[in-house]
Amino acid sequence: MDMIRCLTCALAVAVSTSALAAQDLLPHADIPGVYRAGKCLDAPFPIRLPALDSVVDSASLAAALQAIGVNKRVVLALRPSGSGSAARVHLLEKHVSDQVADSMVRKVEAVFRTAPPDSDWIFRLRVEGDHALTMRLERSRVCAATLGPRNPETQTVRMKADSAADSRRAFEMESVRRRTILHHVLLDAHGQLMTIQLVHSSGDRGLDEQVGAALRERTFAPTSLDGVAVSAWVEVRGDQ
């Protein structure tokens, strides 16, 4: 009996280890979450924006920016890393000269604090300087991947009807079922499909497979984070 228990435990550990190993082999997205195809929204990460002084020494940065002549609005996209390497910073909006903006980027890169482990430190820094220099963090903007045109050869609708009325009803019913199909697709920063998952079925396996096959043939413009292409999970409905 003890031997059976040992064998059972060993098998359970082996299965668990295999499952974790398989999970590790799955490609990971650059940003967390799943985004509806073609929609733009404020990034849902981090769950709560950190305090400005936990990211930079705001007093010394403000003094440095005033010293180089930042007196108008500048918005920067920030993607700091927790590894101690230089933060990735790029301009989104500026109302100062190119020379001042380039110098500002270098100043901001130089003062980033190290991000906490496993944090989603991706956000924007907005600087306003019309009267007094002010700074605040705000959420990044995610624009989910958009789908290219359907392949005409995959737009067939399966009908088995004798009359025009029956054909119309069959078409309408299939259209309704098609709208219930939901896939999550992982696209890389070039818009190439890496993984596809059926999240909600129409209840018709043949239709599910047809829609999935057609989706694999589609082209995509990649998801962007503050204007930079990233890999991300995207939600696609069967009628898109």
Does 104 score more than 90 pLDDT? Answer: yes
Letter for the amino acid at 92? L
CA 201 to each of CA 109, 150, 184, 211, 236: distance values in angstroms, whole numbers, following the listed order? 47, 20, 12, 10, 13
- Other C-beta atoms lying within 10 Å of the C-beta of residue 231: 20
Euclidean distance between the first and the last CA atom of the chain, given in angstroms as a whole number:
57
pLDDT for position 208: 92
Cα separation, 43 vs 31, in Å, equals 9
Cα separation, 121 vs 115, in Å, equals 7
pLDDT for position 15: 35
pTM for this one?
0.78
pLDDT for position 117: 78
- Other C-beta atoms lying within 10 Å of the C-beta of residue 22: 9
Give the three-class secondary structure for 228.
strand
**Which H helix or E strand runs over 92?**
strand 88-94
pLDDT for position 114: 81
CATH number, domain 34-41+144-237? 3.30.2420
> 142 falls in which pLDDT band (50, 70, 90)?
very high
65-97 residue pLDDT tens: 999 999 999 999 998 764 444 458 899 999 999
